[in-house]
Structure 1
Amino acid sequence: MKKLKNYVLIVLCSLFLLSCGDTDNFFRLEGNIEGYSKGMAYLKQFNGKEFVCIDSTEINQGTFSFSGKRNQPQLSQIVVEGYKYPIRYFFLEAGQIDYKSKVNGRNLTVPVVRGTPTQNALNRYTSEREVLYRKVLALRRIKGKDEDEKKECQLQINRLELHMMELVKSFTQEDQFPVLSLYLIKENYTSDNDALKLENRLKPYAKDYAQHPLYKAIQTRVEELNRIAPGQQAPGFEMESLEGALISLSDFKGKITLIDFWASWCGPCRKENPNMVKLYQTYHEKGLEILGVSLDTSKERWAKAVEKDNLTWNHVCDFQKWQSPLVSQYAVRGVPFTVLIDKQGRIIASGLHGEALKSKVEEALGI
């Protein structure tokens, strides 16, 4: 009997120790939405491509909770039934997480999420960045009385934007929060077109985080950029023009061709279009072709924009917006976006605008 008691005691102690060990990876998220009575909360997690629902729970009198295990912090969000925005990304990681928001008319206030080390570090970054960003917005609203005043405002904006990138750099250099570093790399550097630089930023995380969704997302971007690196063959495609005819990239073989990704709904694109018109008028007779690839979903709006902006070159569209296969094939992360191609269909450069694009076009044409 004594041996049996000792055995039971050993088993109970072992289970206790194991359960204590499990708490190392255990998280509990306690949520409160002031003014919200009853509905559903959906916990979504980034999988490297998109946010997918991994759990759901009822909200009763504004309160809800989620619990589980995480070996590494995971980028997550909570979607509340009846409200689409605002959504704030946060890190789901081991520990106690507090999530607070409140009903504000037809919307919810921006959630405040805190409690775990990586999330608290993200909050510090967000707070410091917000201060700089608000200063930038204030300067952009200033209507300069003269050119000197406008130039001074722009100089101040440039300095603030530089400080914002220095802030990113300082947080990504903190070894204490590697997953936060991966997130900041994804958010701030994947729009660059330099695959080698991006790959070098990833190297410190390859050993321990190669399977993390954020790492995989950045690695996917590196692979995309390598596909459109100078010297690579431009991915072929065929699409309908405004007139309904099929236009193929191969139709432009033997000519210096600029693929211009844009959309009628894109303000920066419409602002850039006069420069594209000038570029075409200056260099078309010398051998430059432009092929506009629209990310529109409405043919009517697309056609009106082409006519209004006087875009007299060839245009195509598949009306799939960001789901268009060309978005991935040409590593398009935003518009306007350009890809310059040589006479053999090889990529010369991508992502150029203004004087940089003009110089590269002249170089390609041998001017």
Structure 2
Amino acid sequence: MKQFIFLLILSLSVACETKEKPSFTLQGQIENPEHEYLLLLEESNIEKKETTFIDTLFLDEMGRFKAEFHIEPHFYRLIVNEKLSIPLVIDHGQNVQVRINSTDTKIEGSKDTDLLLNYEKFRASSLERLVKTIRRKITEENQKPNPNAKLIDSLGKLEIHNYDLHLEELNAFINSNMRNSLALYPSSIRWKGENNLAFYDSLVLELENANQNYKIIERLREKVTRLQQTSIGGTAPDIKMNTTEGNEKSLYALHDQYTLIEFWASWCGPCRRESPVLNELYLTYKDQGFNIYAVSLDDRERNWLHAIQKDQRTYTNVSSLEGFKTPAAYNYAVTALPMNFLIDKEGKIIAKDIHGEELISLVKELF
């Protein structure tokens, strides 16, 4: 009997010692919290804006919390209150500590979160320097009694050009600082460009070789695959969406020699400024087999219809009024506007992301 008890105690001891270690730990303290709890969400799909509830973290009387998780590394968001949420990229084995007071938020224990925060800081600086300064000049000119149309057009082209430079700076930052980090996932929402496909593929391949088959890495591989499928030479996926009259219209039902698939929105300044170019191209070449299939990423019907009428967009206009949650935007890996794809009658993509004079010259050459 004594031997049985001894073996039972020994087996329980071994079981305790071999208990699975948590994937990561999350702890911290909130000064003067508004609620008695925090919410932890998984950013399941950043392009579709899908989140998954993970857990409720209750605070003690001192505002402290601690929780162990046996889940995959991923991109998470800690919801503190209606105004404050904290992005966290947590890898296996990390002990993440969060301290929040009235003036500051400190996060320690996650190098991947540090990388993401540094990336976001750099991104904000780059966007301000290259893009927002131009946008303010356009706004200032538009507010004058007699706006200079040529100046606005010139600034609009510069805005599009500078946004591409901004994305190049982000890629350079990623290459220098973020390789083999799960923080690549939140950065991937701005992955774009024919010339960057090999670079993005190499980033994902490094993660795949160094880690288990995490969902977050699968998302990155899916993103690269969609970019590859919608690159020049690829076949454009069909789109079926409702027109302004509420009737479903398929992209493949157009059967034109060439069709420009245009992703736009009423709130997108560069998109709206390109309306005259699109109208001219359509009116000039529609009888020769040129069409435009305009996919709006608006989420308010009134704004969408008003913009169509004001800009005199007489070609095919469709929208699901879901914003960037629009399935076509996901299938075409569209995360920024304006964006377009020029396809031939077989649906082959022959050009993409071309605007202004470059677009005019290409269509003229085709006809």
TM-score (norm 2): 0.75
In the alignment, structure 1 residue 178 sits paired with structure 2 residue 181: yes
2:204 alignment counterpart: 202
Q: 1:250 to 1:360 in 2, by over 3 A?
A: same
Q: 1:171, CA displacement in angstroms? A: 0.8
Q: Which has the higher contact order (CA 8 A, sep 6+)?
A: 2
Report the AA paired with residue 46 of structure 1: E
Contact 2:57 2:67 in 1 (8 A): no
Distance 2:172 2:123 in 1: 10
> Paired residue for 1:306, among 308, 325, 337?
308
Distance 1:328 1:157 in 2: 21
Report the AA paired with residue 182 of structure 2: V
CA deviation vs aligned residue, 1:211-242 (integer Å, no higher than 9, x gap): 22331111112232344344444333444332
Contact 2:25 2:94 in 1 (8 A): yes
CA deviation vs aligned residue, 1:300-319 (integer Å, no higher than 9, x gap): 32221111112222222233
Report the AA paired with residue 259 of structure 1: I
Q: 1:53, CA displacement in angstroms? A: 1.2
In the alignment, structure 1 residue 348 sits paired with structure 2 residue 350: yes
1:100 alignment counterpart: 99
Distance 1:166 1:96 in 2: 29
Report the AA paired with residue 112 of structure 1: K
In the alignment, structure 1 residue 80 sits paired with structure 2 residue 80: yes
Q: 1:299, CA displacement in angstroms? A: 3.0
Contact 1:293 1:317 in 2 (8 A): yes
Q: 1:287 to 1:160 in 2, by over 3 A?
A: closer
Aligned length: 347
Q: 1:55, CA displacement in angstroms? A: 0.7
2:146 alignment counterpart: none
Ranges in structure 1 where 5+ consecutive residues have no aligned partner: 104-108
Q: 1:123 to 1:330 in 2, by over 3 A?
A: closer
- Give 3-state SS (helix, strand or coil) of 2:21's partner: helix
2:65 alignment counterpart: 65
Contact 2:27 2:67 in 1 (8 A): yes
Distance 1:325 1:137 in 2: 28
Decide which moves more: 348-357 or 135-144. 135-144
Distance 1:2 1:243 in 2: 84
Alpha-carbon RMSD: 4.1
- Give 3-state SS (helix, strand or coil) of 1:198's partner: helix
Contact 2:190 2:335 in 1 (8 A): no
> Paired residue for 2:266, among 243, 260, 264?
264
Distance 1:211 1:352 in 2: 37
In the alignment, structure 1 residue 169 sits paired with structure 2 residue 171: no
1:35 alignment counterpart: 32
1:292 alignment counterpart: 294
Q: 1:219 to 1:313 in 2, by over 3 A?
A: same
In the alignment, structure 1 residue 119 sits paired with structure 2 residue 113: yes
> Paired residue for 2:275, among 265, 273, 276?
273
CA deviation vs aligned residue, 1:323-361 (integer Å, no higher than 9, x gap): 433223333323322121212333323333234433443
> Paired residue for 1:255, among 254, 257, 262?
257
Report the AA paired with residue 22 of structure 1: K
- Give 3-state SS (helix, strand or coil) of 1:88's partner: strand
- Give 3-state SS (helix, strand or coil) of 2:85's partner: coil
Contact 1:37 1:59 in 2 (8 A): no
Q: 1:306 to 1:26 in 2, by over 3 A?
A: closer
- Give 3-state SS (helix, strand or coil) of 2:52's partner: strand
TM-score (norm 1): 0.75
Report the AA paired with residue 55 of structure 2: D
Ranges in structure 2 where 5+ consecutive residues have no aligned partner: 142-150
Q: 1:13, CA displacement in angstroms? A: 7.2
Report the AA paired with residue 40 of structure 2: L
Decide which moves more: 9-18 or 52-61. 9-18
Q: How do 1:316-331 and structure 2 match up within 5 A?
A: 316-331=318-333
Contact 2:256 2:289 in 1 (8 A): no
Report the AA paired with residue 42 of structure 2: Q
Q: 1:71 to 1:117 in 2, by over 3 A?
A: farther
Q: 1:343 to 1:310 in 2, by over 3 A?
A: same
- Give 3-state SS (helix, strand or coil) of 1:319's partner: coil
Contact 2:24 2:90 in 1 (8 A): no
Distance 1:239 1:132 in 2: 36
Report the AA paired with residue 98 of structure 2: Y
Distance 1:22 1:305 in 2: 56
- Give 3-state SS (helix, strand or coil) of 2:238's partner: coil
- Give 3-state SS (helix, strand or coil) of 1:264's partner: coil
Distance 2:62 2:273 in 1: 45
